Structure 1
Amino acid sequence: MLKVSVVVPVYNAGPYIEKCAETLLRQSIGPDAYEVVYVDDGSTDDSAERLDRLAERHPHVRVHHQENSGWPGKPRNVGARMSRGEYVQFVDQDDELGLEALERLYALGKRNGSDIVLGKTAGTMAGPSNVFARTIDRCTVETHTLFESLTPHKMFRREFLLENEIRFPEGRCRLEDQLFMAHAYSVAKCVSVVGDYPCYYWMRREDGKNTSSRGLVVDEYFGYLRKVVQTVKAHTRPGPVQDKMLRRTYRVEILRQVSEPYVLSSHRQIEERYEAVRKLVLEEFPPSVLAGLPAVARLRGYLLEQGRLDALCLLAGRTKQMAPRAELGRPRWHEGALTAPVRLHLVHADGKPLTLVERRGRLLLDPVLTEGLPGAEEWEAGDPLNAAYGEIRLSHRGQHIGWYPESDFAVRLEDAGRGRKKPVVSGTMRIDPLTAAGGGPLERGVHDVSAFFQVLGLGRSAALRGDWKSQPLAGQAVQVGTPTRTVIPYWTASRQLAIDIGEFYHRLSDVPGRVTLRQRIRIPAPVRRPLGKAWRYVRG
């Protein structure tokens, strides 16, 4: 049996077939270990001919042509049934794989007997996700935040899909990915995550015609969202695990319809979407889902269920003005890592901090947010640290890859005087160039340093900035590993902290001060990336 079958649904992909195929056909796992199964869904351009030419040149490529079904679900199902691999990897026609993706995903899945293996995502359409912060051998939706990643571009054990009758809905269907993943996650006994290598690249097409770029029809969209909720409920028992999964849907698909920026826009669908999500919440979500949300999100849900669109707009106008404040101490090297104290909190438009008010033994949400909101002017914060956290993010310029170096951030309430408490995220940034990339070394290039944090259900990203005059980085360049690689921390023109690995933009000879040799640890050969214009570096 082959190790992996890669299933690619195709419809009018044109030249993107070759762009995608360039990474599919050069996988390090070797051509004898896998196959690529293209399912042409009745293309009307030259895609069928392009695919047939690929199959003629490459013995491990198979092509199936069928009448147009109108959506990716049926070709994916057909491809999965045709597959001869132990595992099935779904790939979209305009995306790419890291060249070692199949080898790494299969090895991790085989070693752990995994039903699903997630690979770290990157690319021009991939936002940062700490689901892939590090490699995880074994987890489930109960123990990890898997339900934050609902695209099907993952590796699945083929027998797992067949035994549990996990299939994509066929024909025109919005949220088909979520329906598929809701079923798969609910019944998976073991899931693994590759966090130290970018496996899947979501690439934005130059013509803007990615498969997922479609308009929203309200009744259709929220009808299928209802099916996602019902799928979770059908395959899980009422309780904490089910609530955790549904809470993600409530927080993302539901509340974004009544939060900034959307609810403050002039979009003609605002009231129609509002009525649709309110009906869905009242009919499908157990009260325990809303009860477990942090303070501001729970307040939005309460106003939604009470039918107060006016109050939701008022709250959105206030939370929109909430800004992050990041305080970065002087960066220094300590035990092979670039370290600095970091302190993060939120402020209102006037610069005053977001606080909680102590009143008669209760902690109430900041009156600046709740004043004039009917039934919520004394909104209890509940657990003020619920879902609160902070993390450091490294963004590799040009390669569209994010990393999450481990740091010791903690969330606490600080006394702000006059019976007020201020939620603060603080700790020590720690960036070890040899382990910051999911446990491996950072690749050559420039990595911008920022932080993301969430308190009371409000999340913000903040660049970590400093002053080259008061916090000079001269003399902070070091060399690490064997063979040695130069690491140069510096302030950008906008005063953001950045790290130059391998003298990509700066030269060691240009950096004043003494260079210290640290940590002679062998750095593995650089991982191979997909080729093409997406990987041009942006200097500066």
Structure 2
Amino acid sequence: MIVPAYNAMPELTDCITSAMEQTIGPDQLEIIAVNDGSTDGTGKELDRLAALCPSLRVIHQENSGTAAVPRNVALDVARGDYVFFLDSDDYLGPDALRRMVAMADENGTDVVLGKMVSVGGRGVPTAVFRNTQPRTDIFSSAAYSTLGCWKLFRRSLLERLNLRFPPFRNTEDKPFTATAYLNADGISVVADYDCYYHRNRANGNNLTLTAQNLSHRMRGTRMCFEAVARHLEPGPRRDQIMRRHVAWELCGPLWWLLLREDDEDIRERIYPEIRDWVEKWVTDPIIEKLEPRDRLLLHLLRADRFEDVMTVIRNAKEDAGRGHVVEGGRVYWEHPLFRDPAAGVPDSAFDVTDRLPVRHRLASADVREDGVLRLTGHAYIENVASLDTATELVLRRHDANQPEIRVPAPVHAVAGLPDDERHANAGFVADVDLSTAAAGAPLGHGRWNLFLDVRAQGISRTVRLKKPEDGRTPPQWTMTTGTDEPTAVTPYVTGQGDLSLDVGQDVPRDDTPCQVTGTSWHRSRKGTLVVTGTLAGEGAQDVGAPRLRVENAAGERHEVPTSPGRTPGGFTAELPLKGLRPGRWTVTLPLSASSVAAVPYLAGLGRARWFHLARPYAARPVKGASETTLVLEVHAVDVPGVVRRRLRAVVRGVRR
């Protein structure tokens, strides 16, 4: 672990202590702290802590003015298989390193991201940490959105690339991390444990806060562009990665930092440099995916219209509040340069159609006596008057390639909206008969998510339907048809506050007397899931012995009975997964014909492996696959792939 430190008191003590107390153990840990010429007692505190911890090595040097130099000094003497960079302002969760190293070892990945937590309001990435990802890459995950160096890197990767930090005050870690990403053999994400606590110093002298001029960022940004161009061939994959730098490192700083610079410096040095970036690396597909104001800025840079660039940046706040033009089924930002012949900016730069939010409210959701689900509320497209309106309820099967189902939701007048006149016809009522919704046939079994397709003036926008405003979710009801058996329909609200329906499956309810207390893998019987729990409280006496069940999307089920536990009301169930078809399996505890308890996703349940018919198989929990219930993914192990990854690791070790 590498910790650069400059005038880092008092946060430094928490930082180093969190490293010393890692559960991975001191014999598996080398902490290298570099005191970069501090004058506030940082050096003395590091020496004090080193006397308490043999794993802590302290290097004292003259001040370099950047975190890059002390990190490089530590990298030159590091000897571990992995390197983790911890800033002296921040601290780690106790089990962070053990989890990240285990993830890298198990999956053969070169970079591991541990979930970051904001302390005191400091910004942290969130999209990449929605789910734990054992093995992914920069093209199929949000990993590239975070280019801070607070990650676990396989040291052989850094040495093979001779990768070091450029000596800049700001943006020094972005080209370093970008290059590592672009050359990594796999990336892992640990999202089920708070690994890294990110905070601002009490005195506010973080480098990222004090080095805020655009000039501090220019060289690092150019290195990012050059790294992507060097390691990726032109095409969609390069554009996908370049887009991150265009939006965040090019356009973003221009809007809020350019006007801080000297006018002459802008014209003579900064503007020509940025134009060079645009000409070399910004393609039309990149521009198309950016927000309108960035599109406008880039078109002006391409056309070398310096004065227009400065004007739109100076007037950005005023121009953001301008109106919109609806024409030909599209909506355009009514910016002063819109259709200005002199500027020559195409209409597409001002097109905001696909970015307009839908404002909606579900007032009620009720089941009528005839089994029809009635939804009422209002919905309208922001900045588009509700003329020629139409609204449809859209049902989409979760995790299944089935056609969506559309149900008309007639519109009507509604009062009380922010702009009554523009959105007078925003009300809707949708009646859904699930027994005939699928072109006269019943809605198929599975989980169905609900959306609204809202249309006005030829503009169509779709939005996920939120839970009812009154907080009342309809109770479970039975859908009947002339030929099929009665089917249970269970409305529920997801963790994101969205309304969904579960049709024909036993959906866990929160009001059952069953509580799961633990999930684990059997110590001796490989591939056997063990679930423990209790039956207690109101209704427990009416419940028979529960059963442990796994079920896939095709409706295949496997069950085992539970056994009494050691405590009153306790139970244990052991369910072998051998022989299950590869795919995702939902784990529940049926209590009766109408009541099912959830087996929740509990942190700590790792991966299981076993052999079946002479082939290796594995199962792992999939965090976030269900809002309520544990989902296991069963798959055959790719033995050749595992062997190839291990051989590559061995070869790299030999080259070192």
Instruction: Using structure 1 for the length normalisation, give the TM-score.
Output: 0.63
Q: CA deviation at 1:193?
A: 0.7
Q: CA deviation at 1:477?
A: 9.0
Matched, 1:73 2:68: yes
Instruction: Report SS of the residue matched to 1:425.
Output: strand
Instruction: Report SS of the residue matched to 1:379.
Output: helix
Query: Which residue of structure 2 lines up, in the alignment, with residue 279 of structure 1?
Result: 275
Query: Which residue of structure 1 lines up, in the alignment, with residue 309 of structure 2?
Result: 309
Higher mean C-alpha displacement, 203-212 vs 39-48: 39-48
- Mapping of residues 154-165 of structure 1, within 5 Å: 154-165=151-162
Residues 289/38 of structure 1: CA separation in 2 closer, same or farther (3 Å cut): farther
- Mapping of residues 156-195 of structure 1, within 5 Å: 156-170=153-167, 172-195=168-191
1:419-476 Cα shifts (integer Å, max 9, x gaps): x31434324579xxxxxxxxxxxxxxxxxx989xxxxxxxxxxxx9xxxxxxxxxxx9
- Mapping of residues 505-520 of structure 1, within 5 Å: 519=597
Matched, 1:143 2:143: no
Q: Pick from 25, 28, 32: which aligns with 1:37?
A: 32
Tell me if the contact between 1:39 and 1:64 (Cα under 8 Å) persists in the aligned partners: yes
Higher mean C-alpha displacement, 137-146 vs 290-299: 290-299
Instruction: Report SS of the residue matched to 2:218.
Output: helix
1:256-309 Cα shifts (integer Å, max 9, x gaps): 2454xx38x975668966836742433432424534424624344223433232
Matched, 1:425 2:420: no
Corresponding pairs, count? 399
Query: Which residue of structure 2 lines up, in the alignment, with residue 365 of structure 1?
Result: 332
Query: Which residue of structure 1 lines up, in the alignment, with residue 44 of structure 2?
Result: 49
Q: CA deviation at 1:149?
A: 0.2
Tell me if the contact between 2:112 and 2:151 (Cα under 8 Å) persists in the aligned partners: yes
Matched, 1:98 2:93: yes
Tell me if the contact between 1:16 and 1:93 (Cα under 8 Å) persists in the aligned partners: yes
- Mapping of residues 285-300 of structure 1, within 5 Å: 285-288=281-284, 290-294=286-290, 296=292, 297-300=294-297
Query: Which residue of structure 2 lines up, in the alignment, with residue 512 of structure 1?
Result: none
Comparing both chains, which one has the higher relative contact order based on Cα–Cα distances under 8 Å and sequence gaps of 6 or more? 1
Q: CA deviation at 1:215?
A: 3.3
Residues 205/136 of structure 1: CA separation in 2 closer, same or farther (3 Å cut): same
Tell me if the contact between 1:408 and 1:429 (Cα under 8 Å) persists in the aligned partners: no
Instruction: Using structure 2 for the length normalisation, give the TM-score.
Output: 0.53
Tell me if the contact between 2:174 and 2:220 (Cα under 8 Å) persists in the aligned partners: no
Instruction: Report SS of the residue matched to 1:156.
Output: strand
CA distance in 2, matches of 1:33, 1:312: 55
Q: Which amino acid aligns with 2:328?
A: E
Q: Which amino acid aligns with 2:197?
A: Y
Tell me if the contact between 1:86 and 1:157 (Cα under 8 Å) persists in the aligned partners: yes
Q: Which amino acid aligns with 2:309?
A: L
Query: Which residue of structure 2 lines up, in the alignment, with residue 14 of structure 1?
Result: 9
Please provide the CA RMSD for this pair. 4.2
- Mapping of residues 519-534 of structure 1, within 5 Å: 519=597, 521=599
Q: Pick from 116, 124, 146: which aligns with 1:121?
A: 116
Q: Which amino acid aligns with 1:136?
A: Q
CA distance in 2, matches of 1:288, 1:266: 27
Q: Pick from 444, 448, 456: which aligns with 1:416?
A: 456
CA distance in 2, matches of 1:389, 1:132: 26
Q: CA deviation at 1:46?
A: 2.0
CA distance in 2, matches of 1:123, 1:236: 33
Q: CA deviation at 1:219?
A: 4.0
Higher mean C-alpha displacement, 304-313 vs 236-245: 304-313
Q: Pick from 351, 375, 380: which aligns with 2:344?
A: 375
Q: CA deviation at 1:188?
A: 1.0
Tell me if the contact between 2:83 and 2:154 (Cα under 8 Å) persists in the aligned partners: yes
Q: CA deviation at 1:51?
A: 1.0
CA distance in 1, matches of 2:271, 2:287: 21
Q: CA deviation at 1:11?
A: 1.6
CA distance in 2, matches of 1:370, 1:518: 60
Tell me if the contact between 2:170 and 2:217 (Cα under 8 Å) persists in the aligned partners: yes
Q: CA deviation at 1:50?
A: 1.2
Residues 89/355 of structure 1: CA separation in 2 closer, same or farther (3 Å cut): farther
Instruction: Report SS of the residue matched to 1:85.
Output: coil
Tell me if the contact between 1:479 and 1:518 (Cα under 8 Å) persists in the aligned partners: no
Instruction: Report SS of the residue matched to 2:16.
Output: helix
Structure 1 residues without counterparts, runs of 5 or longer = 1-5, 323-347, 349-353, 391-405, 431-448, 452-463, 465-475, 486-516, 527-540
Query: Which residue of structure 2 lines up, in the alignment, with residue 458 of structure 1?
Result: none
Tell me if the contact between 2:214 and 2:261 (Cα under 8 Å) persists in the aligned partners: no
Tell me if the contact between 2:192 and 2:603 (Cα under 8 Å) persists in the aligned partners: no
Instruction: Report SS of the residue matched to 2:113.
Output: strand
CA distance in 2, matches of 1:54, 1:150: 30
- Mapping of residues 137-536 of structure 1, within 5 Å: 137-170=134-167, 172-259=168-255, 262=256, 267=260, 275=271, 278-288=274-284, 290-294=286-290, 296=292, 297-306=294-303, 307=305, 308-309=308-309, 312-313=312-313, 316-317=316-317, 320-321=320-321, 357-358=327-328, 363=330, 365-367=332-334, 371=338, 373=340, 374-376=343-345, 378-379=347-348, 414-417=454-457, 420-427=458-465, 481-482=515-516, 519=597, 521=599
Q: CA deviation at 1:91?
A: 0.3
Q: CA deviation at 1:311?
A: 6.4
Tell me if the contact between 2:117 and 2:124 (Cα under 8 Å) persists in the aligned partners: yes
Q: CA deviation at 1:316?
A: 3.5
Tell me if the contact between 1:138 and 1:191 (Cα under 8 Å) persists in the aligned partners: yes
1:209-236 Cα shifts (integer Å, max 9, x gaps): 1232223444453233222211221222
Q: Which amino acid aligns with 1:421?
A: I
Residues 298/371 of structure 1: CA separation in 2 closer, same or farther (3 Å cut): closer
Structure 2 residues without counterparts, runs of 5 or longer = 360-398, 400-446, 469-494, 499-509, 518-532, 535-594, 605-656
CA distance in 2, matches of 1:479, 1:303: 65
Q: CA deviation at 1:126?
A: 2.5
CA distance in 2, matches of 1:410, 1:295: 27
CA distance in 1, matches of 2:357, 2:142: 14
CA distance in 2, matches of 1:305, 1:45: 48
Query: Which residue of structure 1 lines up, in the alignment, with residue 106 of structure 2?
Result: 111
Q: CA deviation at 1:161?
A: 0.8
- The structure with the larger Rg is 2
Tell me if the contact between 1:40 and 1:65 (Cα under 8 Å) persists in the aligned partners: yes
Q: CA deviation at 1:70?
A: 2.4
CA distance in 2, matches of 1:109, 1:32: 19
Percent identity, aligned pairs only, is 28
Instruction: Report SS of the residue matched to 1:117.
Output: strand
1:227-249 Cα shifts (integer Å, max 9, x gaps): 22112212222222221121111
Query: Which residue of structure 1 lines up, in the alignment, with residue 406 of structure 2?
Result: none
1:185-224 Cα shifts (integer Å, max 9, x gaps): 1111201111111211111111111232223444453233
Query: Which residue of structure 2 lines up, in the alignment, with residue 530 of structure 1?
Result: none
Tell me if the contact between 2:332 and 2:352 (Cα under 8 Å) persists in the aligned partners: no
